[in-house]
Structure 1
Amino acid sequence: MTGTGRTAATKRVPMNSLRKTALIAGAFYLITIFVSIPALVLKGPVLSNPGYILGPGPDTAVIWAGLLDVIAALACIGTAVVLFPVVKRQNEAAALGFAAARVLEAAIIVVGVVSLLSIVTLRQDLAGAGGAEAASLATTGRSLVAFHNWTFLLGPGIIPALNALLLGYLMYRSGLVPRVIPLVGLIGAPLLLASAAATLFGINDQISVWSAIAGIPMLIWEFSLGSWLVVKGFKPSPITAGEVAAGTPAAYRDVDA
């Protein structure tokens, strides 16, 4: 009975620190999904109404949208910071590229938030403007919306595809999660890049049925990865063997008789 108890303890204790890492990384991934979707809905009135800056509008909703985007940006950085020490053991160059791309994505998102909140500030400060001032304000508003749309295309549109290629490769090769999960990301990344390229050259609208369809595999990839890491954690892998051995208290290690 004693040997059985020690064996069970050996299987649980070593993965403790890795389990926490997986849980935090998965939570960050799920946060990026669950705050980005309502943020897109809340800022819809600004992006779809060219005259928003001149008239009444839901300022509070837009401010909340900006706050949610900032949370998503911080969560992006969080996934890179938490996963980097683990995935760098598989390929340090790819892991560094993933971390850098994730930080770049967050930076682009924040820049887009600044342009969005600038519209709200101008609308509040110059309420009731008329004549040439109103025309100039409308032009400024359209420029800021266009600027935000470009950050939206580059940030959530293109960079996540690069992230999926890099992290998908690392997860697939390391076996830290079931290989079907990163495979979805590796398939979805080219689709998202193709959709972004079509938007870039004016073939397809950024918000359209085709863009939504192209983004579905990426949504599945990020949701399934985040959910697996939260619920199951990392699978046993050669790249985590050293940490498991180092983090195992001597009392729980197998000792040959």
Structure 2
Amino acid sequence: MKKTARVVGVLFLLSTTAFLIGSGMMDPILHRTDILTHTDPNRTSMLAGVFLELINAVAVAGIAMLLQPILKRYNEAFAMGYFASRIMESVLLILSLIGPLVLIMLSKQSIHIGTSGDSYMQTLGHLAVQVHFMLFEIAMFVLSVGSLLFCYILYDSKLVPRWLSIIGLIGYTGLLASSCLSIAGLDIGSVLYIPGAIFEIVLPIWLIVKGLNLRSG
């Protein structure tokens, strides 16, 4: 089980790193107003970003599969809820990558035929971007709900120190609020992400170094 905990910790770090780098490569392009003009010339960055976010989605599913047998010992219903939420998150993240791929094709076509300023093509491009971000926000909503169940199991079972579980509960509550506001069209910035970000860095390090306190069960 200590080996499993270490693998889960590595997957958490891989997921976070892949997402941060991948989104960092794509977001400056996706937020441009002249999006069709600049996407195809930057398709290498876009494709690399898509690949890294795909790694993130696969790592998320791996975390769910590895933790399920352990968590169900302590709370089977909540463990199943966490497992289902992370699989749903993985699927939503993969679907969200269709948007950037469609945008690359639209950009290439519009530049090739000289219609990058065409309002119809621009509308399709911006729609692809909106779908991408909306699916991402829904994935974050699903993640936050499932991860609150996860942190409750951690807190109740003392698999990790309770102070760490509390940070997770606070962090995912903030993420839930942020994702709900974003889905409703309200952007308050990234301040609500900070506690969750701390948890997703400290937890995997703890799992790699200390593992899970299975004796608590």
* TM-score by shorter chain over 0.5: yes
Deviation by residue 1:65-116 (Cα, 9 ceiling, x = unmatched): 1001100000000111001101100011111110110010011111111111
The 1-side partners of 2:103 and 2:88 are apart by 24
1:128 equivalent in structure 2:
112
Residue 193 (structure 2) aligned to one of 209, 212, 215: 215
Q: Is 1:228 matched with 2:206? A: yes
The 2-side partners of 1:74 and 1:196 are apart by 21
Structure 1 residues 138 and 178, CA, compared in 2 at 3 Å: closer, same or farther?
Answer: same
1:183 maps to a residue whose letter is I
Deviation by residue 1:115-159 (Cα, 9 ceiling, x = unmatched): 11111122223423346993221111011011011012111x312
1:45 and 1:52 in contact (8 A); partners too: no
2:158 and 2:213 in contact (8 A); partners too: yes
2:73 maps to a residue whose letter is R
Matches within 5 A, 1:102-121: 102-121=86-105
2:127 maps to a residue whose letter is S
The 1-side partners of 2:175 and 2:27 are apart by 21
2:8 and 2:67 in contact (8 A); partners too: yes
2:163 equivalent in structure 1:
180
Q: Is 1:96 matched with 2:80? A: yes
2:110 and 2:116 in contact (8 A); partners too: no
What secondary structure, in the 3-state scheme, does the structure 1 residue paired with 2:190 have? helix
1:54 and 1:134 in contact (8 A); partners too: no
What secondary structure, in the 3-state scheme, does the structure 1 residue paired with 2:112 have? coil
Q: Is 1:81 matched with 2:59? A: no
1:138 equivalent in structure 2:
122
Structure 1 residues 132 and 232, CA, compared in 2 at 3 Å: closer, same or farther?
Answer: closer
Across the two proteins, how many residue pairs are aligned to each other?
A: 216
What secondary structure, in the 3-state scheme, does the structure 2 residue paired with 1:93 have? helix
Deviation by residue 1:171-200 (Cα, 9 ceiling, x = unmatched): 111111111111111112222222222223
The 2-side partners of 1:83 and 1:131 are apart by 50
The 2-side partners of 1:159 and 1:221 are apart by 17
The 1-side partners of 2:198 and 2:137 are apart by 19
What secondary structure, in the 3-state scheme, does the structure 2 residue paired with 1:153 have? helix
The 1-side partners of 2:173 and 2:145 are apart by 9
Q: Is 1:32 matched with 2:15? A: yes
2:149 equivalent in structure 1:
166
2:4 maps to a residue whose letter is T
1:192 and 1:214 in contact (8 A); partners too: yes
The 2-side partners of 1:216 and 1:132 are apart by 38
The 2-side partners of 1:131 and 1:52 are apart by 12
Gaps of 5+ in 1: 1-17, 240-257
Give % identity.
Answer: 29
RMSD (CA atoms): 1.8
The 2-side partners of 1:31 and 1:89 are apart by 26
The 2-side partners of 1:238 and 1:218 are apart by 25
CA shift, 1:222, in A, is 1.4
2:83 maps to a residue whose letter is A
Gaps of 5+ in 2: none
The 2-side partners of 1:79 and 1:131 are apart by 44
TM normalised by structure 1 equals 0.79
Structure 1 residues 134 and 99, CA, compared in 2 at 3 Å: closer, same or farther?
Answer: same
Q: Is 1:191 matched with 2:169? A: no
The 2-side partners of 1:53 and 1:131 are apart by 9
